[in-house]
Structure 1
Amino acid sequence: MTDRLAGKVALITGGASGLGECSAILMAHEGARVVIADIQEDKGRALAARIGKAAHFVKLDVTSEDNWQAAIAEAVKTFGALHVLVNSAGIGLTKTVEDITLEEWRRVHAIDLDGVFLGCKHGVAEIKKHTKTLGGSIINISSISGIIAGANMAAYNSAKAGVRLLSKSVALHCAKSGYNIRSNSVHPTFIDTPILDRHRVRFGQEIMQQKLGKQVPIGRLGRPEEVGWALVFLASDESSFMTGSEVVIDGGISAM
């Protein structure tokens, strides 16, 4: 263990699996105390037990404002502060603007965008109380699909693009308010996590990796830790002059 995040408390949504799980493990390794927030209670509690005393699980439905307020209160009650918020919870849906129903559209936005809004709203209100000595950081997981559109990703494109600009608005608000809180968005491409399970079920692991990897100039899927270490950097004071930025981790897709 090193001390890049020593003294910091991080709340990570979607923390029981995928990028959230990876970031919880890496942040704890770097000295943070982590609150794993997820609707997957069994997985979340198991991960907290695996990490040890530096981790705590709280059940969180990111679409519920009451859940958000309770989760943040429990984080502070458990570890005494809150410095970092990682909004990693999300879902994907592959449908065109003609195929998608209004119910599906609203569900994607409720989780992928409204959930991030609620996290930022209540996260800023709490984090600003604890940043006299340690800087605060909000890290919103968007997607390369928040920058580059696809014909069959109408709702996902819309929600993730919203996360991108919301992150910038939060950054400017915190800077102008003197809160010592930074806000940045992260834009991964295909990362080998459970969000790709629908492709895994359809094609199998090996064929999925080949099909999706062909779309990436580097020629493969990303690994969770390749995003996770970027989140550690954004959570740390190493990135103290970085706010309102987009961290693109896409194997070269956006360079084409």
Structure 2
Amino acid sequence: MSNRLINKTAVVTGAASGIGEATVRRFVAEGARVIMTDLNATDGERVAAELGASVLFMRQDVSAPADWQALAELVRERFQRLDVLVNNAGILIPGSIEDATLEQWHKLLRVNADSVFLGCQTAIALMKESGGGGSIVNISSIAALAARDDYMAYGASKGAVAALTRSVAVHCRRQKYRIRCNSVHPDGVMTPMTRGSYPKGIDPVLLTIDHDPMNRACLPEDVADAVLYLAADEARAVNGIELRVDSGQFVMSI
């Protein structure tokens, strides 16, 4: 432990599993106090109990404004400040422009993009109250940068996250809020959400980077390390970037 987040308070959404859980564990190891949120209360409460007093769990629907208001009140009540927000919660639904439904489109945009809008608004207000600035890290996807016809609406939702991130970064810079906002773009990460997207007969565990460094799949911890960098003070001059964590998959595709 190097205490890169000592005395900092963080919120991580979608934190009951996958990238969110790995990020919470990384943050706690670096000295942070963390409020982790998820719809999955069973796993969220289990992880929080395992990590001890420095972690609180709150059940949250990230697409609901009332839940963000409740989260803000919890932050004020328990910690009186917010230093880091990781907008990680998201869903994955396949579909091309021909077979996707409007209902699927709306659901993906609501969960994957509206939640980030609400989260950024909430975080900026809390960070301004404490006066110490902060870091917002939005989890987007390589699908925001490279076209995927089979996950059209998902890519659109993550593209919205990337564009929103740049806008927030510019706004906070011009307003001199000392609030940074960056996006992380993973691909092929071994999480409960992505395992179902692999072809039948393929064991995704055998495709992780630890088994074959030339393969594209990553571990949640690989993404958590990138998030930690952007959250920590060492990235104080990094603002508005799109950080790819994909084992070079994007570069190979262009």
Whether TM-score is above 0.5 comes out as: yes
Amino acid across the alignment from 2:168: V
Which consecutive unaligned segments of at least 5 residues does structure 1 have? none
Deviations 1:89-145 (A, max 9, x none): 00111110110110010000000000111101111111122243xx40000000000
Q: Output the CA distance in 2 between the equivalents of 1:29 and 1:131.
A: 25
Using the size of structure 1 for normalisation, the TM-score is 0.93
Q: Cα offset for 1:204?
A: 5.5
Deviations 1:119-177 (A, max 9, x none): 01111111122243xx4000000000010011111101100011001000000111111
User: Residue 197 of structure 2: SS of its match in structure 1?
Assistant: helix
Q: Could you tell me whether the CA contact under 8 Å between 1:83 and 1:131 is conserved in 2? A: no
Q: Corresponding residue for 1:60?
A: 60
User: Residue 231 of structure 1: SS of its match in structure 2?
Assistant: helix
Q: Cα offset for 1:79?
A: 2.0
Q: 2:167 aligns with which of 157, 166, 169?
A: 169
Q: Output the CA distance in 1 between the equivalents of 2:104 and 2:194.
A: 18
Q: 1:158 aligns with which of 148, 156, 166?
A: 156
User: Residue 199 of structure 1: SS of its match in structure 2?
Assistant: coil
User: Residue 5 of structure 1: SS of its match in structure 2?
Assistant: coil
Q: Output the CA distance in 2 between the equivalents of 1:138 and 1:12.
A: 10
Q: Cα offset for 1:217?
A: 8.4
Amino acid across the alignment from 1:203: K
Q: Output the CA distance in 2 between the equivalents of 1:12 and 1:88.
A: 7
Q: Output the CA distance in 2 between the equivalents of 1:217 and 1:244.
A: 29
Q: Output the CA distance in 2 between the equivalents of 1:6 and 1:122.
A: 22
Q: Corresponding residue for 1:225?
A: 221
* 1:20-169 alignment, distance < 5 Å: 20-132=20-132, 135-169=133-167
- Seq. identity, %: 39
Instruction: Summarize the Cα distance change of 1:2–1:141 in structure 2 as closer, same or farther, 3 Å threshold.
Output: same
Task: Provide the aligned C-alpha RMSD in A.
Answer: 1.8
User: Residue 185 of structure 1: SS of its match in structure 2?
Assistant: strand
Q: Output the CA distance in 1 between the equivalents of 2:100 and 2:40.
A: 26
Q: Output the CA distance in 2 between the equivalents of 1:137 and 1:245.
A: 12
Q: Cα offset for 1:76?
A: 2.4
Amino acid across the alignment from 1:111: V
Q: Output the CA distance in 1 between the equivalents of 2:24 and 2:202.
A: 25
Amino acid across the alignment from 2:230: L
Amino acid across the alignment from 2:106: R
Amino acid across the alignment from 2:72: I
